Amino acid sequence: MIQLTNLPDQGKAFVQTLDDVLLRKSQVGIDVLRLDKIHTIISGNKWFKLKYYLDDALKQRRKGIVTFGGPYSNHLIASAYASRIAGLHSIGIVRGERPKSFSQTLSDIESYGMTLKFASRDDYGNEHFKTTIKALYPDHLLVEEGGRGRAGIRGAEEILHLTAFDQYSHIICAVGTGTMMTGIVNSSLPHQTVIGIPVLKFDQSNSNTVADFVTLNASSENFAFQYDFHFEGYAKKNKGLLGFMSDFYKRHGIPTDFVYTGKLFYGVMKLVGDGFFNPDSKILIIHSGGLQGNRSLPEGQLQFSE
């Protein structure tokens, strides 16, 4: 394993119990696993999903990794920083044309030493694009967007072991690629239900790429999805969501991001209010980090200070 300083400190993750009238009334207990606390840049689940790719790249004596993401990608910024610490070069293929001026996220990514290449949305979504990139950079390990794949799942299988997780009836997480959720399902116990809240908009309950991915890669079937909390699609938001996030911070001191964990906590609290969980349910919510994504918001849209 990579032995360098300034990597995330998994020991900094802790469990926070929520106290709330709604929860007391519903007799539902909620604990939050604060993965957002392990590192400021290689935040949350991204570290778990990346570590074995970096390990593979080092073992295979590659020069570095090449990976993919949008201009505000938590995965790209985490990859850039973690690669640098691991002594690996990194190439980031960014979705969309090169912007005239860089977002804070892109500037940071570049300052951590990642070489940025921009790909038109057509190229980026093209099936053969990955093959082209692989051929262009044969001395770099290709890591799929979001760390999707075996090594990502393997790292995510470690998340639950940060706490005494056997006490929970439900474990709930946000879902992008489904890599983290698959790792969580694989390490969960038979009496537990893992619920994923997709942040992309899918046709209700029909087969979709994310559900297919989890079903294909999970070693058990104790999981389900709640499809109603996407807010019209990936990185889409409205006043209701941002208002919830500010209020949730005021009540519990937990910052969330509007792409992933804002939708996650909104969804769980809505389900509790709707009586979805039986009394005495004990829920563990995975706070998967990703707070830097809020930097794409105009100032003042979130109130995260007391």
Are 38 and 120 a contacting pair, CB within 8 Å?
no
Q: Which of 10, 302, 288, 24 is nearest to 171 (CA)?
A: 288
For ligand PLP, give the closer residue by CB, 132 or 209: 209
Binding region for ligand PLP (CB under 6 A) out of 45-53, 61-69, 92-100, 225-233 = 45-53
Selected binder of ligand PLP within 53, 227, 260, 266 (CB under 6 A) = 260
For ligand PLP, give the closer residue by CB, 74 or 79: 74
Q: Is 256 a binder of ligand PLP (CB under 6 A)?
A: no
Are 179 and 156 a contacting pair, CB within 8 Å?
yes
Binding region for ligand PLP (CB under 6 A) out of 170-178, 229-237, 245-253, 273-281 = 170-178
Q: What is the dihedral of CA 59, 185, 268, 32, to 10 degrees?
A: -60
CA–CA gap between residue 61 and residue 64 (Å, rounded): 8
Q: Which of 293, 287, 230 is nearest to 253 (CA)?
A: 287
Q: Is 8 a binder of ligand PLP (CB under 6 A)?
A: no
Least distance (Å) between residue 45 CB and ligand PLP: 5
In this structure, which amino acid lies at residue 27?
A: Q
Name the residue with the smallest CB distance to ligand PLP: 290
Considering only residues 115 through 154, tell me which ones interact with ligand PLP, judged by CB under 6 A: 146
- Token pair for residue 248? 């949730």
DSSP assignment letter at 299: T
Selected binder of ligand PLP within 79, 83, 105, 179 (CB under 6 A) = 179
Query: DSSP 3-state assignment of 239?
Result: helix
For ligand PLP, give the closer residue by CB, 49 or 89: 49
CA–CA gap between residue 217 and residue 207 (Å, rounded): 15
Selected binder of ligand PLP within 83, 217, 226, 261 (CB under 6 A) = 261
Q: How far, CA to CA in Å, does 267 sit from each of 35, 121, 241?
A: 19, 30, 10
Binding region for ligand PLP (CB under 6 A) out of 58-66, 121-129, 173-181, 295-303 = 173-181
Residue matched to tokens 């997780």: 165
Q: Is 290 a binder of ligand PLP (CB under 6 A)?
A: yes
- Token pair for residue 128? 């053969």
Least distance (Å) between residue 68 CB and ligand PLP: 12
Considering only residues 194 through 253, tell me which ones interact with ligand PLP, judged by CB under 6 A: none
Q: Is 79 a binder of ligand PLP (CB under 6 A)?
A: no
Site of interaction with ligand PLP (CB under 6 A) = 44-46, 49, 74-75, 146, 174-181, 257, 260-261, 288-290
